[in-house]
Amino acid sequence: MNSSSDIRKRIFLVGTARSGTTLLQSMLSAHPELFSLPETHFWRGTIPFQACKRLGKSFGAQERRFVTDFLERLHAGDLKTLLPGFTFSQKRWTRALLRILDQYTQRQGHRIWLEKTPMHLYYIDLIQAVDPSVYFVHNLRNGEDVVASLYDAGHKHPESFNTRSIPRCMRRWRREIAISRRYIGQPQHAFVRYEALVENPEAQLRSLCKCIELPFRNEMLDYRREADRLRFPEETWKERNSDQIRKVRKFDKLFSPDEQEWIQSRVSQIDLGIFDI
């Protein structure tokens, strides 16, 4: 159950980076009943994403500073008092982070929040163990386009993306698709295909809203004004979703014919149709 009786719903939007999560977040946050905010990185920035490195993990001054720095950017630094003192408990830490999101959302006059940090995909089990009622929306995109976008971002923004090689980009896409695949058929999990969202936004949003028990609102189709609010100034790699929806095809421009063939041979081994349920 949610830690605050005033919060009706908690939603996490996750997926491989460069898979269209920013576009979907902009659409969802245009819903008048839902509140979203820039990527918090709360879990990714304070807990190793590799399970083997979480053993013996402690939470102290460094982790508190990470969260506090984000809160101060939102002029909500006082919420740091919700963080526990020194602890080894990942569940206790997670409960505190959820309470912070609850409290900040209530200050904005909302009772439903959406947190979008793609790599929080790696923390689903931990978050669900604390609150089984949380919803997770998985955003998925064609492997060729994700690899191309990751590769491009890795060269343009190496300080934020460690994806300067094609094999590294491919491994990341395949690994994160495998994580999402674990949750097919499980309650509280919904899946959105980027290509379908671009092709028919209204149909995909109606279907998603039904899955996460949120009434569809036409305002979600007029999402462009939300894009800038959800992006910090330094996040220059995020496409400007205030522009008209368009299909971006970097794959053909970035890679040689041999590289394209190598990528396609590995992408074809994974059928994203399994998520069309």
| SS3 state of residue 197 | helix
What is residue 6's DSSP assignment? T
What is the model's pLDDT at position 249? Answer: 77
The domain defined by 9-275 folds into: Rossmann fold (3.40.50)
How far are the Cα atoms of 50, 95, 143, 217 from residue 130, in angstroms, in the given order? 19, 7, 32, 30
Cα distance between residue 144 and residue 194, in whole Å: 13
* Contacts (Cβ under 8 Å, ≥6 apart) of 249: 145
CA 124 to chain centre: 11
pLDDT at 241: 44
Residue 1: per-residue pLDDT: 46
Counted residue by residue, the chain has a size of 277
What's the mean per-residue pLDDT of the chain? 91
CA distance 187 to 52: 27
Per-residue pLDDT band at 238 (split at 50, 70, 90): low
pLDDT score of 67 more than 60: yes
Pairing mode of beta strands 135-140, 189-193: parallel
